[in-house]
Structures are given as C-alpha cells and as structure tokens.
Structure 1
Amino acid sequence: MFKQLQAELALSYNIHFNDVSLLEEALTQANYINEHPNYTGNDYQRLEFLGDAVMQQSTAVYLFKRYPEWDEGRLTELRISMVQTRAFAALSRELHLDQYVQLGRGEELSGARNRDSLLEDLWEAFIGALFLDQGQDVVMHFLGDIMFNKIDEGFYDRFVDYKSKLQEHLQRHGSVKITYTKLGERPVENNEQIFTVQVAVNDQVLATGEGKSTKEAEKVAARAAYQTLTKN
C-alpha cells in the first residue's frame, strides 16, 4: 500500500524515504494496531508530537526571514492561520494521506478518514517522519513546495475570520457602528453572480469586496479593511 504513496511523493516532491517504516508509522492509528495483534509497528502519536514542534519552528523561521519588516503581531497572526487544524487537514488531503492511513474498523465506520482532526495529526506525524528520515533542510524545501508557496495565493485567508478580527480591531477603544452594504451584482459565466459589498465604520467606507455570494463578498471586504488598517 505504501509503495504507491512513495511513488507519488517521489514524482511530485522528489521525496524518497530511506526508512519506509517511519512513513508507515506516521500513517498508522492506535486502533488499527489494537485490532491487529501481529502488527509489530508503532502508531503515529510520537511522530505527531515531533512533527508539531517541527512545524511550529519551521514556519516561524520561514516567516521571520521572509518578512523582516513585520512586527511580532503580524508574524504571529499569519503563523497561527498556517499551523492550525483546517490548514493541516487540507495539506493532508493534497498529499492523499487520508487515502493511506491505517484505521481501526470503528474509526473507519465513523468517517474518521475525512475528519479534520485526524488529518491534522497525520500531517504532523508525516512531517515528524520526514524530519527523522531526511533532516531539517529537506523538510524546509518540501514545505516551500507544498505549504509556504500558498501564502501568496491567499490559501490561508480562508481559515481566518476577518469579520470578527475587523470588529475587534475597530472596537478596541469603544463601540462603533460597522455596516456591510451590498453595492450590486453582475452575471458571470455558468449563470453565476458576482456580488460587490462595501464595509464602513460610522458611515466611513473602509473597503469593498467581491464574491460569489454576499457573505463571501463581506469576508473579502473585511479582510481588505483589516489588512489596510493594521498595515497602517
């Protein structure tokens, strides 16, 4: 089963595990071992512990070097959006770890293979295994290919509640009136609509945003307003 995953990793990321047992350990849940008494390997929990630490440090180092002009607050905010459950779960799916994990029958029946919390664990365990097998330089190169390059795509913005962050920022000195107003909509391909929304505080326009729904457009407007305000 793991030969196919090894082939995918080699083809897409030039990753070649020297110790394949580490890769198998990273993708084996404790319940699977409990149901297979003859299984001699370990579950992923220790590798998950290591991978969590590696991810925190690697991401912090990358952001520190990439954004020398950012203060601690901005660096921390982006790091938090990157090293959290939904982001790691998405990366696990991109690597197809959900397809290769060895689960117990009960976990399989309960839909654990699609559970974000499990996929987060698998990602961290995989990184822990890669670190032990290949070292920090390979981990950083791999993260650059699959994770760090997504910053410029706005990949991590989806995991941030910018409407709440904007509200907290604007109300840090007291209550203010925040309004979202739909300015219009226009048709695009496939009979879809693009909505335009503006966000204002005390009737002063802060930013506008577009999206395939009013809710999405509000989020885009809130993100633009928040990023402009905090940058200034």
Structure 2
Amino acid sequence: MRFLDTFFNGQVIANYLPDLIAAMGVTLGLAVATIVTGILCGAALACLRVAGIRPVNFLIIVFADVMRALPPLVLILILFFGMPSLGLNLSGWMVLYLVLSAVLTAFAEEIFWGGLTAIPAGQWEAGRATGLSKAQTLVFITFPQAARRGIPPLVNRVLATTKLTALGSVIGVKEILSVSSSAQSFSGSATPLTMAAIAYLVLFIPAVIASHRIERRYHYAT
C-alpha cells in the first residue's frame, strides 16, 4: 500500500492529470514540428551540396559539425539567456524548437549526403543521358534512392532528437518533464514523475514500434 500511495496516489493523479495531458500536447507538437523542419532542412542542405559550390559546401559542413558536436543543452542556454542581451527575446518553446530542429537538420543532412555519395556514378550518367538536367536527375533519380538508404539511421536520429524535448524543463517550457517536476514539488509525491514516465511511454512506444518496422523494411534497401 505504501508503494501505491507513493507512486500511484489517486488524489495526486486526479489533481495533475489535466496539466499532464496538456503537457503531452506541447511535447507532441514540439516533436512533430522538429521532425518536419529537421528532415526538410537536412534534405535541402544535402541537395545543395550536390551543386558543388565550395563556399556553400564549407558553410554546410561547418554547420553540421558544430551542431553535432555541441550538447543541445548548451545551445539552448546560450539562446535563451544570451539573445535577450542582443534585444531578441525568444520564448522557451521557440528556443527549444530552433535548437532541436538545427540538431536534427545537421544529422539529417549528413545522412542524406552519405546516401547521395553512395549512389553509383552510373545513375547520374543515366539520368543525364535521358535528357534530364543535373537538378532533375537529383530530384527524380538519385535523391529518392539516397533517402531510401538513409531511412534506418534517420529514424533512430529522429527518435533520439525528439526525446530531447525534455530539456525544455530547464527553460520553463510546459512539456511533460517540466510539468511533472513542478507537480512533484508541490505535492511532495513521486506520483507525478510516474505519470510522466507513463506519458513518455504512451507517446514514444508507438514511435519505437513503428521505427522497428521501418528499419526492417528498408535496412537492406539499395
């Protein structure tokens, strides 16, 4: 009974469940926005590198390396506490969205670029031989193959990045961990943290299951 009262207190659950449901909506919305932005921007940067413009490629490489090297929390703190001194006040949600999107963009770009470099030169030559321009060959022939090759590692990176939404608790974003931590402090019970764990499972277990199926389907894609 003591275990249940500590981790599954009915009164605490009733008091904080509406707040936690709202926090789940914030977490899910942030995750979806991050995924869409990161994948699209990463694909765009990888395609841009195909043009072979050295200054542009250099900037893309530097961006990807920096974003992958720096801990996301450092970037979040720099933006949230540093930008106001420059006269730019960003909400916690926007800071978290920008940082996680940038991180996912960097990884996605490298994944897509790796797929593009793995495409045999004959594929490019075949496209050009049929009268397609270099851009058309990229869009209709090589990039779809590269994207297919990159699906397994991209799915893993998407899951890893979206779970970083929990870092929003550091800057006051009302996501799951932030709300549950506040509830735990006010209630003096571990129940809100148990609720948070269950909420994360509800949100991410379906995504993990879907990722396994996607990986099995495309792992040996060529």
Q: TM-score range by the shorter chain?
A: under 0.3
Higher helix share: 2
Say which structure is richer in strand. 1
TM-score by length of 1: 0.26
Considering Cα pairs closer than 8 Å and 6+ residues apart, tell me whether 1 or 2 has the greater RCO: 2
Could you state the TM-score of these two structures normalised by the residue count of structure 2? Answer: 0.27
